[in-house]
Amino acid sequence: MNIGLVGCGRWGRYILRDLLSLGASVSVVARGDDASLAKEAGAQVVARLDDLPPLDGIVVATPTTTHADVIEALLPRGTPIYCEKPLCDDAERARRLAAAGRGRLFVMDKWRYHLGVLALADIARSGELGPAVGLRTMRVGFGHSHPDTDCIWTLLPHDVVIAREIFGRSLPPVAAVADCAGTDIMGLTAMSAAAGGPWHIAEVGMRSPERRRTVTLLCRDGVATLEDAYADHLVIMANPARDDAESKPRIARRALKVEMPLLAELSAFVGFLNGGPPPKSPAEEAAETVATIVQFRRLAGI
């Protein structure tokens, strides 16, 4: 299996590691220190897209603002492409990419492979805690390491697709408010809701003193929470008794196997290249995610 990797920066290095662990031969487009690291890891390195050899599949791990240009350059090859999220940062361009890459362009939404998110989806669909009412997600920390774009484009795509995975559908945006320091975007709180169905409130930001990644599913009869990306359990809590405000919460912890979702999503892509089912987040869904984020930004006046 020969796979191309475009970009081998902070996140691309982990992608390279996992592709090699899956037994793939990897050709990397990189320069400078990134090229040296890729060579040391055992990859073939080229300087330009045009220098890539014939490949079974290609992974794009370049900055968000370059995704569309890179994909457009690669599409004529006819090779399946797996792009880091988001597909791009322009809704109309995302729609065109989805149309041009139908059936062979996918986006790496790793949280759709997270075992904690999948466990929450099982709870929502089984009715174990009654019908799902809503979802709260929080993705905050201090600082932002992507100079080409703001933290909304970096963080919010995760939460949009978490809601899709748990509810099995996308939820239309209804409201959003931005956290700004002058002209600098620090974060966003966004709400989406289906008519007569569940809602989702997502908070993302870059000026919290502590890093938090939480996903809380609210159902008629109780609440289930994934407290952290690396948590080894869900916290499941029954509703308080109506006639006893002083009662202690009834909490259970449901064990989770801790596996890295990056490896799981790359395994899905490799399996697809070997004739298996396609990975999650086809380009059509990824373009819808981009359009959703653009709408949230408009609602917030950005």
**Containing H/E element for 110?**
none
- The verdict on 155 and 275 lying in the same domain is no
- The verdict on 91 and 144 lying in the same domain is no
Q: Determine contact, residues 192/172, Cβ cutoff 8 Å.
A: yes
The Cβ of residue 128 has, within 10 Å, a number of other Cβ atoms equal to 13
CA distances from 289 to 72, 173, 227, 299 (A): 19, 11, 24, 15
- The verdict on 34 and 145 lying in the same domain is no
How sure is the predictor about 240, in pLDDT bands with cuts at 50, 70 and 90? confident
How sure is the predictor about 248, in pLDDT bands with cuts at 50, 70 and 90? confident
- The verdict on 78 and 167 lying in the same domain is no
Indicate which CATH number applies to the domain containing 106: 3.40.50.720
The Cβ of residue 48 has, within 10 Å, a number of other Cβ atoms equal to 9
Give residue 244's pLDDT.
65
Whether this prediction's pTM lies above 0.85 is answered by yes
Q: Determine contact, residues 19/44, Cβ cutoff 8 Å.
A: no
Could you tell me which of 1, 27, 2, 52 has the C-alpha nearest to residue 12? 27
In a domain, 92, yes or no: yes
In a domain, 137, yes or no: yes
Three-state DSSP class for 194? coil
pLDDT (tens digit per residue) in 121-145: 999 999 999 999 999 999 999 999 8
Q: How many domains does the chain have?
A: 2
Residues listed for the chain: 302
**Containing H/E element for 274?**
none
Could you tell me which of 276, 216, 265 has the C-alpha nearest to residue 113? 265
In a domain, 20, yes or no: yes
In a domain, 254, yes or no: yes
Statement: residue 12 has pLDDT above 90:
yes
Could you tell me which of 173, 171, 217 has the C-alpha nearest to residue 194? 171
Mean pLDDT over residues 164-192, rounded?
97
Give me 185's structure tokens. 């975007």
- The verdict on 139 and 250 lying in the same domain is yes
- The verdict on 22 and 76 lying in the same domain is yes
Q: Determine contact, residues 144/295, Cβ cutoff 8 Å.
A: no
Sign of CA dihedral 120, 125, 126, 128: positive
pLDDT (tens digit per residue) in 24-80: 999 999 999 999 999 999 999 999 999 999 999 999 999 999 999 999 999 999 999
In a domain, 286, yes or no: no
Give me 40's structure tokens. 């040391």
- The verdict on 132 and 149 lying in the same domain is yes
Give residue 196's pLDDT.
86
How sure is the predictor about 246, in pLDDT bands with cuts at 50, 70 and 90? low
- The verdict on 136 and 168 lying in the same domain is yes
How sure is the predictor about 197, in pLDDT bands with cuts at 50, 70 and 90? confident
Statement: residue 245 has pLDDT above 70:
no
- The verdict on 33 and 100 lying in the same domain is yes
- The verdict on 163 and 251 lying in the same domain is yes
- The verdict on 152 and 35 lying in the same domain is no
**Containing H/E element for 254?**
strand 251-255
What is the residue range of 84's domain?
2-110+264-280
How sure is the predictor about 249, in pLDDT bands with cuts at 50, 70 and 90? confident
In a domain, 200, yes or no: yes
How sure is the predictor about 154, in pLDDT bands with cuts at 50, 70 and 90? very high
Give the ranges where the chain is alpha helix by DSSP (H).
Answer: 12-21, 32-41, 67-74, 91-100, 115-126, 151-167, 261-273, 283-299
- The verdict on 118 and 102 lying in the same domain is no
